[in-house]
Amino acid sequence: MRPSRRIVLVPLLAVMLVGRGVPAAAKTPASPAAAVPQAEDFDAPTAEWCDGPVRYVLPQDDKLAYRKLESNQERARFIRRFWAARDPDRGTTENEYRDLFMHRLSEAHSLFTTESTKPRCKTDRGKLWILLGPPDEQDDASPRSIRPDVINWIYRNPPPGTAGGVNVQVRFILDASGEYRLVTGARLFASDSAMSQAFALQALQLKAIPGPTGEAAEQPGTGAPAPPPGFRAHTDVFASGKDRLLAILTLFVPDSFVRATEEGAAPPRLEVTARLVSDPPGGPSYELIGAASMRTAAGPLGRAADGSRIYQGGLAVRPGTYRVRYALVGPGAETQRSFDDTLVAVVPSPARLTVGPISFAQRLERLAEPAAGEYVPPFVLGALRVVPRAEPIFSPDEDLSFYYQVSGATNDPIGGVPDLEVEYVILIEGQSAAGITTQPLGHPIHLTREPALLQAFSLPLAGWQAGRYRLQVHVTDNLNGSVAGSEIAFQVR
């Protein structure tokens, strides 16, 4: 594989946000009599609350449970718990989930006129506005349009849970009652749970919206959200051209966060997204969301040694330092979380041979055929299947597997590929009165005439004693004599 020659550009999907501008054609003047109800009006603890607009995101089990309540006090407690359970960040006073729902609810009530007796927020247009937000494009239904009885909405990048892919078109037709109804047979969501999950993802993504200064939202007084216990993030960055890099993000999600699945079963229903925002502000930003969100694999391939589920995604980025906001949304309130990490993407100098950085793998295998592109999520990198390791800690019954990239090598003018000499040296650490000492473990491993810029290697650890070690990689460019190296520490327990 030759990363400097080709790259798969991962689609960058825009997050659907409440702050996006409302299309001009949707700004239907509300009549003076149609005063916009306040959020408290929609959350009044009446027996009919579960049949109101909240039914769009209310699971059937919760609806049945609410109907059994007999007092306003019990209903009010239920409503408070319902919204609190969906708050994506309980460390702040805001509840982004409820705020987004109420904002769109008020917008739908203001924007859509209807001659029928149905409340505006319960019309088909109101429902879709609440769940998906304003469309990216829409036809004007004014008398001057070709079909004033038809309205078309287009969502370029709808949130996960909607049917189809990008550029979803929704058509409404004016019926005899004076209401614009969704075309018969059109179904945007496969199920009510998918509908609720799609809305929850949008609400959680609000935590990653850059503010006026371009920085991601933070918890007051605490700085950027740190990974919760058990969550670990790993980043690989590979040179992929003059001013582009391939960033591969890997997230280890603890088994306690999502209910474990049996071996061979389908991965848990968890949406894992990532947003990269330039730090300092002013640079580019990128999203791994929707069709490009981070993926896992069924069975042992998507599991770490401690049972964590491994999610991975990749995209092409410009050089720079980025704040990475991970967001996770699952079917339950306990599976909603967001936190930050940092990514540094630096293009190696083409005039200087460089090695690494080195990364350890928990699984490393060569494929019979190279991938269709340079990277195929999850875990396929060129002709390799590579599952990163969360921690540099091994047991004696494992293999020491690692991978890295060589940059700045000279290509042979005839064959068009590098000619590299590679040497691996293992050092074991010790302790003396003078401090930490190292001594070679066995003999160096030599590889000759290596043409690949992406290098990977495995060796068994059987018989190794517990302790701390260092792996040194030395590379010589046979075409110009330049030498470079890199080093990484690990443990055997």
What pLDDT shows up at residue 225?
58
Is 70 exceeded by the pLDDT of residue 402? yes
Quote the CA–CA distance of 63 and 54 in Å, as a whole number: 10
What pLDDT shows up at residue 203?
72
What pLDDT shows up at residue 35?
52
Indicate the SS3 state at residue 163: coil
Mean pLDDT, range 471-493, rounded to an integer: 96
Q: pTM of the prediction?
A: 0.62
Mean pLDDT, range 10-38, rounded to an integer: 36
The β-bridge relationship of strands 435-440 and 445-450 is: unpaired
- Residue 206 is classified by DSSP as G
Q: How many CA atoms within 13 Å lie on the side-chain side of 24? A: 2
What digits encode the pLDDT tens for the residues 481-491?
A: 999 999 999 99
Is 90 exceeded by the pLDDT of residue 161? no
Looking at residue 14, its amino acid is: A
- Evaluate the omega torsion of the peptide bond into residue 413 and state whether it is cis, within 30 degrees of 0: no
The torsion angle over the Cα atoms of residues 97, 101, 103 and 107, rounded to 10 degrees, is 160
Mean pLDDT, range 385-406, rounded to an integer: 95
H helices of 45-95, where? 60-67, 72-85
What pLDDT shows up at residue 158?
67
More confident of the two residues 29 and 358? 358
Q: State in words which class domain 351-363+387-493 has.
A: mainly beta
Quote the CA–CA distance of 374 and 7 in Å, as a whole number: 5
What pLDDT shows up at residue 219?
39
What pLDDT shows up at residue 232?
92
Is 70 exceeded by the pLDDT of residue 411? yes
The DSSP bridge partners found for residue 493 are none
Quote the CA–CA distance of 16 and 202 in Å, as a whole number: 7
**What mean pLDDT, rounded, does the chain reach?**
78
Lowest mean pLDDT among 25-39, 345-359, 389-403: 25-39
Is the Cα torsion angle 159, 161, 162, 165 positive or negative in sign?
positive
Other residues' Cβ atoms within 10 Å of the Cβ of residue 479: 14
Q: What percent of the chain has pLDDT over 90?
A: 34
Mean pLDDT, range 112-138, rounded to an integer: 79
Mean pLDDT, range 246-254, rounded to an integer: 94
Indicate the SS3 state at residue 144: coil
What digits encode the pLDDT tens for the residues 292-336?
A: 789 999 889 999 988 899 999 999 899 999 988 888 876 654 566
pLDDT band at 285 (very low <50, low <70, confident <90, very high): confident
Quote the CA–CA distance of 285 and 22 in Å, as a whole number: 23
Domain boundaries, the chain: 24-206, 351-363+387-493
Is 60 exceeded by the pLDDT of residue 447? yes
What pLDDT shows up at residue 485?
95
The DSSP bridge partners found for residue 249 are 235, 313
Which DSSP string do the residues of 13-40 spell out, in sequence order? PPP--TTSPPPGGG-PPPPTT-PPPPHH
More confident of the two residues 57 and 449? 449
What pLDDT shows up at residue 445?
96
Mean pLDDT, range 181-191, rounded to an integer: 69
Element (H, E) at 343: strand 336-345
The β-bridge relationship of strands 393-394 and 483-492 is: parallel
Element (H, E) at 487: strand 483-492
Looking at residue 306, its amino acid is: D
Per the CB < 8 A criterion, the answer to whether 358 and 456 are in contact is no
Element (H, E) at 486: strand 483-492
Mean pLDDT, range 393-400, rounded to an integer: 95
The β-bridge relationship of strands 420-432 and 435-440 is: antiparallel
What digits encode the pLDDT tens for the residues 44-96?
A: 899 999 988 888 888 887 889 899 999 999 999 889 888 887 777 666 777 88
Quote the CA–CA distance of 388 and 236 in Å, as a whole number: 9
Quote the CA–CA distance of 223 and 435 in Å, as a whole number: 37
Other residues' Cβ atoms within 10 Å of the Cβ of residue 19: 8
What digits encode the pLDDT tens for the residues 251-279?
A: 999 887 766 444 555 555 678 888 888 88
